[in-house]
Structure 1
Amino acid sequence: MARPPRLVLAQQAHHLIQRGNNRQAIVQSDADRQQFLDILRDCAATHKVAIHAYVLMDNHIHLLATPAEEQGLSRMMQSLGRRYVAWYNFKYQRSGTLWEGRFRAALIEGEHHFMACMRYIELNPLRAGICAQAADFPWSSCAHHLGRRGDALVTDHMLFWSLGNTPFERELAYRELLDQGLAEVERRQLTEAVFKGLPLCRPEFLQQLSEQTTRPLLARPRGRPLGSVKLGKEIDSDPI
């Protein structure tokens, strides 16, 4: 059965995740991580995609990104996959795919969902128990948003800028949001949305979308319809 096309809108933020095949590592060293991010930065610029937040874990990548054009996300991820996998395979004398299928994506709209998604992404290493503070993890955008370092990969979204009139005010406000953490219901909502390709947005925006597409925009009722068991297992576990 063919997969439905992704719901992607130009000039709108989206949450993306790409995992390693069978959850295997996609990076093995800091040199790999730097190479991955360098290629990602180049691909994002080429295909006009603004990266607002990211975290590169050992076996997956999260992005919060806005494409200038509808096809920008797919083109960026395809280019990233071709270039990085070719480099990685050559370095480690391996062959074949590195990814677990195509990347997942969910449209993110509205201040509440956007800021929750930023925290979801940047708190990932903390949830995984690999650092004491989210900003200590060097392979995410968290340190950038807290003013510890600049990050050429990141393009700050206007919703982040709305946190304060000065860099200090924005950093302080975002630090307070991070300290609040993320409610379990929000974490599960964000996980389910990205794996099912469902939008997270305000009701009025959802109504506008429903008038433009026949694609399902809401999660189906819980149960065990045919073909749902495998997907359910993916959603039940946090992709860390």
Structure 2
Amino acid sequence: MARLSRLALPGEVHHLIQRGHDQQPIVRDDEDRRAFMEALRECAALHKVVVHAYVLMDNHLHLLATPPAPESLSRMMQSLGRRYVTRFNRRHGRSGGLWEGRFRASPLEAAWLLSCMRYIELNPVRAGLAERPEAYAWSSAAHHLGALRDPLVHDHAGFWAMGNTPFERDANYRRFLEEGSSPEEVEAMLAAALRGWPLGSDAYRAQLAKLTDRPLAPRPRGRPPRKTVPN
């Protein structure tokens, strides 16, 4: 069976996941992390992809981003691979690919935006790398909690709706983070991104169906039921 094309729709927020091959590190130290983030900023700007949230872990990357064109996400990630992987290989005396195949992505409805931001920015806390999300230097959490201004991050309207002032938004978002992600939320977000299906309501999928001919849900398995011919 042919592999489905990646679902990438202009103007829609997408959750991207890129993993290291065989769960191997994609960064080994802070010099790698700085180089990765510099390359990501350059490639996002080059292809005009708007990044709303991110976390760079040792062996994978999460992004929440909006592309201006269907091919923008792929071109950004291809550019990132060329710029960063070449440098990583040269620095560490290795060759070959770094990624576990192509990146995974799914568009998501606005109602899922904050939940996905929370899941992304709590990654280091869940992994035991930081006690507080903003203490981890390689994510957008510090930006959203008012600790610094991250030039990579462009706040989504859904985040701005959390308060009328920066102080109110920061406080409300902190409380939202402290609530944590439910197992059901995490399962839904990961399943959608890894399988390439949109995350949202039936109405959202119907809206997306007007923008693409690609299937938006798995087809039923097995043969269709045989029609009964009346006697």
Give the alignment's TM-score, normalised by structure 1.
0.88
The whole-number CA distance in structure 2 between the counterparts of 1:117 and 1:206 is: 18
Shifted more, 84-93 versus 199-208: the winner is 199-208
* Structure 1 position 211, deviation (Å): 4.5
Tell whether 2:118 aligns with 1:119: yes
Q: Could you tell me which residue of structure 2 aligns to residue 150 of structure 1? A: 149
**d(CA) in 2 for partners of 1:118, 1:219:** 26
1:27-42 aligned within 5 A: 27-42=27-42
Query: In the alignment, is the contact (CA less than 8 A) between 1:104 and 1:197 conserved in 2?
Result: yes
1:58-115 CA distance string (max 9 Å, x none): 00000000011111100000000011000101111110000000000010122x3011
- Count the aligned residue pairs: 222
In structure 1, what is the equivalent of residue 168 of structure 2?
A: 169
Indicate the residue corresponding to 1:69 in structure 2: 69
Q: Which structure 1 residue ranges, 5 or more long, are not aligned?
A: 226-240
Report the aligned-residue RMSD.
1.6
CA positional deviation for 1:173: 1.1
Task: Report the residue type matching 2:11 in the other structure.
Answer: Q
Q: Read off the aligned partner of 2:137 and give its amino acid letter.
A: P
2:90 counterpart residue number? 90
Partner of 1:132: 131
Structure 1 counterpart of 2:135, one-letter code: D
8 Å CA contact 1:19–1:99 kept in 2: the answer is yes
Aligned to 2:200, the other structure's residue is in SS state coil
Q: Amino acid of the residue matched to residue 157 of structure 2?
A: M
Mapped partners of 1:115, 1:202: distance in 2: 16
Q: SS of 2:15's equivalent? A: strand
Q: Which moved more, 1:128-137 or 1:20-29?
A: 128-137
Q: Which residue of 2 aligns with 1:21?
A: 21
d(CA) in 1 for partners of 2:105, 2:14: 6
Displacement after TM superposition at 1:204 (Å): 1.5
Describe the superposition over 1:14-48 as per-residue Cα deviations: whole angstroms up to 9, x where unpaired: 00000000010000110100110000000000000
- Cα distance in 2 for residues equivalent to 1:210 and 1:75: 24
1:158 deviation in Å?
1.1
The answer as to 2:8 corresponding to 1:8 is yes
Partner of 1:63, secondary structure, is strand
Q: Which moved more, 1:199-208 or 1:22-31?
A: 199-208
The 3-state SS of whatever aligns with 2:79 is: helix
CA distance in 1, matches of 2:191, 2:200: 14
Q: Does 1:141 align with 2:147?
A: no
- Aligned residue identity for 1:45: A
8 Å contact from structure 1 (residues 48, 69) kept in 2: no
1:20 and 1:59 in contact (8 A); partners too: yes
TM-score in terms of structure 2 length: 0.92
1:197: which partner in 2? 196
Distance 1:3 1:172 in 2: 44
Matched, 1:207 2:206: yes
Letter in 1 for 2:165: T
Shift of the alpha carbon at 1:2?
Answer: 3.1
1:146-190, CA deviations, whole angstroms, 9 ceiling, x for partnerless residues?
Answer: 001111111111111111111111101111110111111000000
The residue aligned with 1:103 is 103
Residues in 2 aligned to 1:208 and 1:68: alpha-carbon distance in whole angstroms: 18
1:215 positional shift: 3.1
